[in-house]
Copies of this chain bind each other. A is one copy, B any other.
Amino acid sequence: MKIIRVDMTNLKVSYQDVPNYYNDYAGRGLIAKIMNDEVDPKCDPLGPENKLILAPGMFCGTTLVNTSRISIGCKGPLTNTIKESNVGGTIGSALGKHAIKAIIFEGQPLKKGPFIFHLSKEGKAEIIEAPEVGGLRTYEFARKIFSRYGEDNSLLCIGPAGENLMKIASIQSTDVDKNPCRAAGRGGVGAAMGSKHIKGIVVEHRADSLQEFADKSLFDAAAKRFAKAVMEHPFSSQLLPALGTAGLVGPVNAMGAFPSLNARIGVFEKWERISGEKLREIIEARKGNPTHLGCSQCIIHCSNQYLDRDGSYLTGSLEYETIWAMGAMTGIDDLDIIAQLDRLSDEIGVDTMSMGVAIAVAMDAGYRSFGDTRFALEVLEEVANNTEMGNIMGDGPLSVGRHFKNPRVPVVKGQSIAAYDPRAMQGNAVTYATSPMGADHTAGNVIGEYMSGRLDPLKPDGQVDASKNAQIAMAAVDSTGLCLFASFALLSPEGAQSMLDLIKAKTGKIVDENTLGLIGIETLRLERAFNRAAGFTAKDDRLPEFFYREPLPPHNTVVLIKDEDLAKALEF
């Protein structure tokens, strides 16, 4: 394994050996480690001292199923915390095959650029000045890249939002069909990339993998067992292929936990118009693909391809969180409009969730009405055009709330919550409040406990532990390169044992049943250490005031977790 270091100040690229004390770290864990080792926590996220780190998960580049996830890390421009944003597509697997443990972009060029980083099949790494691609939207940029470098490449890129350093800028990742439709959306990682004047990161595919194994035959056997466990979990093998993540609209709405109209109510009246069932109906009627292979190595196929009324491709994988943010939160109940907003977000390079919530906060302030589709579409163009209003919106919900004097801003550490209202899922309140990432459902979603009936979502009992366990598990999964949706296999004894065998066979690491949990705990410890050094205290681990004060219909509950219990959530 090697680390590639890209000195953007001097535009030099070098390979370096991986210190053996990074052996236990990969993906999100490795980012936490490198950020603590190399980056001043008090630095300006958009300055030369910040670093942008790509780290494929431990199993990327192997034959294990669903291992195309790459972690992208930096000090987050949106959150000012340490930030890891995890994305699928094909680049994680591609970099894994190159046996690259991390790419670290550091410094800042004097030249405007922008620049493209390219890694050839043979491992030649270059940084190339490419002024002609400056300002391009992502789909056009991707077309140019694939025509220049060939189809056999993976791409990460930013759109105009990232180039203009907007705080909700995403990094887009191309899927199996070469569309830059998958996003490392959270925390403003796109602005960090933009601050280094990098427009695109291109990795040519290798046919063979350079990955080494401590025990190849054990790995192959365990990988087979793990794949079987993935296909035996009903969520991965039934709900996701059938309805995609949008399958959650119905159940979460039924629980009264679907934050609607800027989280004024927990059900969306027109939920059936934006449900997973409706989505599938539309896609099938237009002969699109409701069960699409989006990422390398995927056996779940939660993705979809949404076609417009003329049957042309409009956007890729319209997801639950996007449907919520652009739909329920803004009061827009038309999947065609939501799909357009999704495509525009991908094109311009912004996080659909933060963008939708920013729009909702503006509507909630009375600037426009809920359900104003024209406003929503206009906002995106303002962001693309870097106008004054575009900058206010592109810096996210907190910036919008400040501008319009609306204190009802559903964010923690500057980052918006996701499609689970913390008042109706008290465990997710704990995760939003205490995750080192700011509010983030992928940092420890407790929904599984509620859907299985193991925990009452409305009462405070047991929520801190549930969140803590989920946060540890997610920090570990985010270090493996495994897709969250394949990680349900870890809940079965066969899946859990296969994972231990996989870690041992890949790394030679001495393992027991605590191994994965320890990786998670270590990761969270490092992330919290970075945040503390950046100046964050326990008082930052709180939800906005209105979640404690304003009961959420229909259950009319508020967040009931006490501050002293929140403080226990990530005590190790």
**Could you tell me if A22 and B518 are in contact, using CB atoms closer than 8 angstroms?**
no
Chain B nearest CB from A411 CB (Å) reads: 32
Question: CA of A519 to CA of B519 in the docked complex: distance in angstroms?
Answer: 17
Contact of A21 among B21, B214, B522 (CB under 8 A): B214
18 of the cross-chain contacts (CB-CB < 8 Å) are A19-B212, A19-B214, A19-B508, A20-B212, A20-B507, A20-B508, A21-B213, A21-B506, A21-B507, A23-B24, A23-B509, A24-B509, A25-B510, A510-B519, A511-B518, A512-B514, A512-B518, A514-B514
Chain B residue numbers with a CB within 8 Å of A514 are 512, 514
Query: Closest chain B residue to A572 by CB distance?
Result: B512
Chain B residue numbers with a CB within 8 Å of A519 are 510
Contact with B along A189-215 (1 / 0, CB 8 A): 000000000000000000000001110
Question: A18 near B: Cβ within 8 Å?
Answer: yes
Using a CB–CB cutoff of 8 Å, the interface residues on chain A facing chain B are 1, 18-25, 33, 212-214, 506-512, 514, 518-519, 521-522
**Could you tell me if A25 and B518 are in contact, using CB atoms closer than 8 angstroms?**
no
Question: CA of A522 to CA of B500 in the docked complex: distance in angstroms?
Answer: 14
Question: CA of A1 to CA of B214 in the docked complex: distance in angstroms?
Answer: 18
Contact of A23 among B23, B512, B521 (CB under 8 A): B23
Chain B residue numbers with a CB within 8 Å of A510 are 24-25, 518-519, 521-522
Chain B nearest CB from A100 CB (Å) reads: 14
Query: Closest chain B residue to A520 by CB distance?
Result: B510
Q: Which of A22, A24, A519 counts the most chain B CB atoms within 10 A?
A: A24
Question: CA of A519 to CA of B521 in the docked complex: distance in angstroms?
Answer: 20
Chain B residue numbers with a CB within 8 Å of A521 are 510, 512
Question: CA of A24 to CA of B510 in the docked complex: distance in angstroms?
Answer: 7
Chain B residue numbers with a CB within 8 Å of A18 are 20
Contact of A508 among B1, B22, B511 (CB under 8 A): B22
Query: Closest chain B residue to A508 by CB distance?
Result: B21
Query: Closest chain B residue to A523 by CB distance?
Result: B510
Question: CA of A519 to CA of B511 in the docked complex: distance in angstroms?
Answer: 9
